[in-house]
Structure 1
Amino acid sequence: MDAVAPQGLRAQSATMWTALWASPVRRGILMLYFGITAVILATAFGQVLLNRWNQPFYDSLEKRDLAAFFDQLLVFAYIAGSLLVLNVAQAWLNQMLHIKLREGLARDLIGEWMKPRRAFRLGYAGEIGVNPDQRLHEDARHLADLTADLSIGLMQATILLASFVGVLWSISSNFTFIVGGRSFDIPGYMVWAAFFYASLGSGLSWLAGWPLIRLNEARYAREAELRFSLMRVNERVDAISLAGGEADEKARLERDLQTVLAAARRIMSAAVRLTWVTAGYGWITVVAPIVIASPVYFSGSLSFGGLMMAAAAFNQVNGALRWFIDNIGGIADWRATLLRIATFRTSVVAMDALHGSKERIAVVSDEPDGLTLDDLYVASPDGCARLSVPQAHIEAGGRLHIVGEPGAGKTLLFHAIAGLWPWGGGTIRLPKDRTVAFLPGQPFIPRGTLAGVLAYPLSTPIAKAEAERALERVGLTRLTGRLDEVVRWDRELSDDDQRLLAFARVLVQKPDFIVVDEALDALGDTARERVLDALGEALPGTALLTIGTVAPRDTRLGPVVGLRFDRNGKALGKEGAKVATA
């Protein structure tokens, strides 16, 4: 499956707006935006007053009127003090908006990703399923920060523009130009000049800055790959050291680093080209309003104070209009990040539609007291895995062992029974109103206390005596005194101990059915005997379906059903192959 990308900026923005609107923090976000709007309106009013202050202040300087000069300084203190309070309030609201936007966005993405089976299936969905942690953490944070900054900046620019266009028009409404002894007026001259000046700068900035959208998107992808490589090495450093593979991993990490640096260099070059435009525009703006208004001033139609007031109003209007120029880099970054997040979210949601289409394995919970596999085959890109019998059935309290050679599709069958792998045909009938526990070959050990590991994923605490008894039964007596310790148990324990801990978890939780994928095969003879004894004694009414490589010598695993792989059988179609081979 290719990444499902919403088409266009409008569709991508609508996707994320829908997510935020459904968020439990929606009310907080809206209240913050209302508060920021009120503060910006008050700030704009204060800046209009400050602009009006320019004329009497500079006129007092021109006239050398000391009393008027001090009066205007007092007026400035009142205006500036009020604006300072508003600036601090806006800064606080701004930071709170960053936090709330990130909370809403991250909650939505995590919620969609962690819906049953989606995260597993996304891992087979091609490039979009690679490093979802990068999108959930870094991209979500970055998008929230950029959205807050850009939206507030745009709102502020719009309000300032609305506030000062009228002021600037009023100031320049009576500008009289004298050319060749003839005089004429241009109504709103400074307004038209500001719009033309800002439009020219915006157009040049867009031409220089639009490649940053594509370059930023590529950079984030390369950064995610490097981060994943570093995490992989850190997680398996023991195996790498034992194999003497440091040099190989070093070369691999350096290759990933080089791709990141190459992407960064391309962004640097584009940013330098953009700086020529934005910085040049900024320097010209220092004198532009004076130059634009100078013909009227030198003709004697405008006082020095009026000139400074016109220049200040021009700068306010131009500052609002040049918002795009000042933020073209941020807009390109926001656009690239929005594309990554919107594509990720849309693809996650689309997992259900893809896997719910026709010609899939039917998984139903309608068996009154058993688990049945009817005419089941599990498809992969290379062929399909099929049971040696048309129907395999296991009753409550029964035993059944499915055996297949390496590469026969045993793990695919395990995932299919769990409802994770939908490709293939036939029906899997699960017991109705019964609990089913699935034990993979390498169990997941969550972070937390050992007691929490045994209770996972249930939130109900377990009795200490029961937890200790389960550990003793599987041969982990040495851990009974450590139930309240919080360590990285996935690193503290060996692979065999982790499998034994998973069986101890089963003994504690007492499911009605247990489906095991090669976990028993991986244990030594003594440990396997101990686990089977514990299951028989503690859970005599629990059904056990095991999947393994070799036929068991222990009859306690029940009758044996073969699993064979047919390379000429029904392989995945074009759509499914894209997903499965990712």
Structure 2
Amino acid sequence: MQTQAVSDRSLINNAVPPASQKFWDNFKAIFGPYWYPTQSDKRAFPDVLRIWIMLILLIILIIALVGLSAFNSFVTRYLTDVIEEKDYANFIKTLIVYSAALIGVTLLNGFSKFIRKKIALDWYKWLNNHTLSQYLKNRAYYKITFRDDIDNPDQRISQEIEPLTSNALSFSAVFLEKVLEMTTFLVILWSISQFIASVLVVYTIVGNLIAFYLGQQLNKINQEELELKAEYSYALTHFRNHAESIAFFQGENQESNIIQRRFEQLLKNILRKIDWERNQEFFDGAYKSAIQIFPYLVLAPLYMSGQADFGEVVQASIAGNQFASALATLIREFGNSGRFSSYVERLSEFSNALAAVSKQPENVNSIKSIEENHIAFENVTLKTPDDEQTIVENLSLSVQPGEGLLIVGPSGRGKSSLLRAIAGLWNAGTGRLVRPPLEQVLFLPQRPYIILGTLREQLLYPKTNRRMTDAELKEVLQQVNLQNLLSRVEGFDTEVPWENILSLGEQQRLAFARLLVTHPRFTILDEATSALDLTNEGNLYQQLQETKTTFISVGHRESLFDYHQWVLELTQNSSWQLLTVQDYRNQKTIIQNSNENTHITIDSSPNNESQNQSATLTQKATSEGLSHKEMTELTLYSIKTIRSKASKGESIAAKDGFTYRYDKAPHVLKWIRG
């Protein structure tokens, strides 16, 4: 992933002038489908109604909580006056009311938080499933890997959706509760002293301006912290996924430097955050303390002069304290909202990217796909997804049921890209691609996909609901030479980290076992036997042929020619040629001989004697056949090579322009022409 680009992008985004407008647009895009679904297929009406009833109940509980807290301030004021008057009877009654109000506040506070968390959980569940559905839809999870502006999609789903929903509900509930508290207790203070209330209003405005500035700085720091944590987490995941390669290279020091560098960047950001949070804590504490002291400064002299009773002083102090606490909590929530806005921005950015890659681009040519019972390319010109490079031009071929096609060519020529086109992963270009339904096709890549699951699920993948007995599965393991695997685990229902305990060759044989289990009608193999020896490779391909499946392979080994009927060679400049395996071998032999003859003519010139000898051998080949030694004279191959080709049944293109094959009949055992 291009994690560095994220930091650069965040700096650019911070410089965009209408930042607040962008936030609200992102906010509505994420929150709208859950709270205000406009499409009937997105959420059922009973679900929407249920969540709105819970939200209304939460609002009622918050209003009741604030109202009861305000009522309690009056009870406290009356209780203080009763104590001052030493009225024991009224003291007991008032104390009971005061205790009941406190119990009510406790219950309302507990229930309101419970309802808030239930709503957040329901929202998290829906938003996670909705985002995951977008991620999996139309293979967006694959297409988004080609974008360098989206980092760590796994973290965005697993670690950033839940805090977004919980923070949103927490902030909204706290905001409503504290604004109501501030308003209520400001009214109470106004009833006691208009001067105190007026000063508090001015004080609040000034304090909020300072708090807003501090919050903005923390917002930027929180945004950077979120991205740096993602980069650090990705570095550790990358290290774990490539542990064996790093061990081979003994690259621990270099990897440690990379991880440590990212960790140091994260630490610097955390230190900056600590400094700003310290300043905010100092401000919050001083701000709250000043509000608590101020009512005493004004009302205490009035009480001492007999112009106010002691209950009013206590109630004003409580009201000021409640106002200050509410304001401090609100300021703290605004400070924490930076992380919340980061979550909103990153999830919105992710959702927009998923929607973009899932949508077919306009005014861009694409290969038309038709579903039929065979595979064919009809004048197909395939390009890379960015439409910048042409892989192959005007490709036309058809693979009939039961046939095998081998794709060869230099590295980087686009052999695997043709397989991506068959799978529907790449479709930029022109022409028509005929293919079977994808559920009838099994893809075997060079590095097989090993799922997180049991051995049984590994073998049955991708159709893990298939029913097979242990005896049947054991037979499949025997067929792919993995019969010893069961001795290393406790059974087919054992779940272990298979990627760590299986070598690449064992993983490739496990992938072939899936083929024998599923019996697909079509199989696509992308160097699926590259880690196997020739014996295991031959065994697996022979079983593949016995299944009567139609298969297309990509590979470099000459041994693969023995299991295919056709060869598609991708050459330079997007050109190609389609030949039978026999014709392709003959062509390569002629080219090789031509190169060898060219090299020979540099050092010596042919003479009449050698020409006459070749003519004699050619004539003998027609009537009697040639021995291995005579073929060396006609082809310039070594006798060892001639014998090897004879044992494999391979033909040879000789210097006279004819092709020779070895007749293995016991009464012949000669090279004959044709």
Q: TM-score range, shorter-chain basis?
A: 0.7 to 0.9
What is the CA RMSD across the aligned residues, in angstroms? Answer: 3.0
Residue 454 (1) aligns with residue 475 (2): no
- Determine whether 1:437 maps to 2:442: yes
Query: Is 1:372 the counterpart of 2:362 in the alignment?
Result: no
- Which of the numbers 465, 475, 480 marks the counterpart of 1:474? 480
Q: Indicate which of 133, 136, 146 corresponds to 1:114.
A: 136
Alignment correspondent of 2:496: 487
Say if 2:16 is the partner of 1:16. Answer: no
CA contact (8 A) 1:400 1:560 kept: yes
2:558 and 2:24 map into 1 onto residues whose CA distance is 58
Task: Report the CA distance shift for 1:496/1:514 in structure 2 as closer, same or farther (over 3 A).
Answer: same
Counterpart in the other structure of 2:525: 516
Quote how far apart the aligned CAs of 1:37 are. Answer: 2.1
**Pick from 129, 136, 152: which aligns with 2:173?**
152
Q: For 1:418 and 1:160, how far apart are their aligned partners in 2?
A: 61
1:356 and 2:378 aligned: no
Given residue 160 of structure 1, which amino acid in structure 2 is its aligned partner? E
Q: Is the 8 A contact 1:28 1:100 kept in 2?
A: no
The question of whether the paired residues in 1 share the 8 Å contact of 2:366 and 2:427 is answered with yes
Match of 1:141 in 2: 162
1:390 counterpart SS class: strand
In structure 2, the partner of 1:60 is: 82
- The letter of the residue matching 2:95 is L
Alignment pair present for 1:554 and 2:575: no
d(CA) in 1 for partners of 2:185, 2:115 = 24
Q: What is the DSSP-based 3-state SS (H/G/I as helix, E as strand, rest coil) of the residue aligned with 2:571? A: strand
Q: How far off its partner does 1:319 sit?
A: 4.4
Secondary structure of 1:448's match? coil
From the superposition, tell whether residues 107 and 291 of structure 1 become closer, same or farther in structure 2 (CA, over 3 Å): farther
Which residue of structure 1 lines up, in the alignment, with residue 619 of structure 2?
none
Q: Classify the secondary structure of the residue corresponding to 1:115.
A: helix
Which of 105, 113, 121 pairs up with 1:91? Answer: 113
CA shift in 2, pair 1:369/1:409, >3 Å: closer
Match of 2:571 among 551, 560, 564: 564
Structure 2 distance, partners of 1:93, 1:497, is: 52
User: CA offsets per residue over residues 313-358 of structure 1, 9 Å max, x none?
Assistant: 34444544555313222111211221112211221122123x5333
**Structure 1 position 509, deviation (Å):** 1.4
Flag the 1:89–1:137 CA change in 2: closer, same or farther, 3 A.
Answer: same
Q: Residues 68-94 of structure 1, C-alpha deviation per residue, up to 9 Å, x if partnerless?
A: 333322221121122222233233334
**CA–CA separation in structure 2 for the residues paired with 1:259 and 1:211:** 18
CA distance in 2, matches of 1:59, 1:558: 104
Q: Is residue 361–residue 424 contact of structure 1 (8 Å, CA) maintained in 2? A: yes
Distance 2:368 2:308 in 1: 84
Secondary structure, counterpart of 2:207 in structure 1: helix
Shift of 1:415: 2.3
Letter in 2 for 1:306: E
Equivalent residue of 2:568, what SS?
Answer: strand
Aligned-pair CA distance for 1:250: 1.3
Paired residues of 1:134 and 1:224 also in contact (CA < 8 A):
yes
The partner residue of 2:468 within 448, 463, 469 is 463
Q: Does 1:255 align with 2:261?
A: yes
What is the CA deviation profile of residues 79-124 of structure 1, one whole-angstrom value per residue up to 9, with x for unaligned ones? 1122222233233334434433332232222221122310111111
Q: What do residues 121-147 of structure 1 show as CA deviations (whole Å, max 9, x unaligned)? A: 11111131x321211122222222312
Residue 317 and residue 140 in structure 1: after superposition, are their counterparts in 2 closer, same or farther (change >3 A)?
same
Shift of 1:368: 4.5
Cα 1:26–1:112 shift into 2, 3 Å = farther
Q: Which of 398, 403, 418 lines up with 2:408 in the alignment?
A: 403
Aligned to 1:527: 536
Alignment correspondent of 1:544: 551
Alpha-carbon contact 2:476-2:516 (below 8 Å) kept: yes
Structure-to-structure mapping, 1:35-46, within 5 angstroms: 35-46=57-68
Local SS of the residue matching 2:178: helix
Provide the residue aligned with 1:183 in structure 2. none
Retained in 2: the 8 A contact 1:451–1:462? no
C-alpha offsets along residues 539-577 of structure 1, whole Å, 9 cap, x if unaligned? 21x210112235555332221111235499xxxxxxxxx
* Corresponding residue number in structure 2 for 1:271: 277
Aligned counterparts of 2:414 and 2:438: Cα–Cα separation in 1: 29
Would the aligned equivalents of 1:219 and 1:260 in 2 still touch at CA under 8 Å? yes
Q: 1: distance between equivalents of 2:82 and 2:438? A: 88
C-alpha distance in structure 2 between counterparts of 1:11 and 1:279, whole Å: 35
Structure 2 counterpart of 1:33: 55
Is the contact made by 2:365 and 2:428 (CA closer than 8 Å) also made in structure 1? yes
The residue that corresponds to 2:70 in the other structure is 48
SS at match of 1:36: helix
Task: Say if 1:195 and 1:321, in contact at 8 Å, map to a contact too.
Answer: no
What amino acid sits opposite 2:552 in the alignment? L
Match of 1:105 among 117, 121, 127: 127
Kept in 2: contact 1:376–1:390 (CA 8 A): yes
- Indicate conservation of the 8 Å contact 2:292/2:317, yes or no: no
- Post-superposition offset of 1:60: 2.3
The answer on whether the counterparts of 1:551 and 1:560 sit within 8 Å (CA) in structure 2 is no
Cα distance in structure 1, aligned partners of 2:535 and 2:527: 16
SS at match of 1:365: strand
Query: Contact 2:371/2:434 (CA < 8 Å) preserved in 1?
Result: yes
Shift of 1:411: 2.9
User: What is the rounded CA distance, in whole Å, between the counterparts of 1:203 and 1:273 in structure 2?
Assistant: 15
State TM-score, norm by structure 1.
0.86
Identity between Structure 1 and Structure 2 (%): 23
State the aligned residue count. Answer: 549
More off after superposition, 360-369 vs 485-494 = 360-369
Cα 1:221–1:363 shift into 2, 3 Å: farther
Name the SS for the 1:507 alignment partner. helix
Query: Which residue in 2 is equivalent to 1:325?
Result: 331
Q: Distance in 1 between matches of 2:238 and 2:438?
A: 40
Structure 1: which 5+ residue stretches go unaligned? 176-187, 569-582
Question: Which residue is 2:224 aligned to?
Answer: 218
Note if contact 2:58-2:116 (Cα within 8 Å) is conserved in structure 1: yes
Offset at 1:417? 2.4
Residue aligning to 1:580: none
* Deviation for aligned residue 1:197: 2.1
* Aligned amino acid, residue 404 of structure 2: R
CA contact (8 A) 1:466 1:508 kept: no
Unaligned runs of 5+ in 2: 14-18, 36-41, 576-674
Closer, same or farther: CA 72–358 of 1 in aligned 2, 3 Å: same
Answer yes or no: is 1:337 the counterpart of 2:359: no
Question: Which residue identity lines up with residue 122 of structure 1 in the other structure?
Answer: I
Counterpart of 1:112, as a letter, is: Q
Q: 1:381 to 1:37 in 2, by over 3 A?
A: closer
1:295: how far off? Answer: 7.2
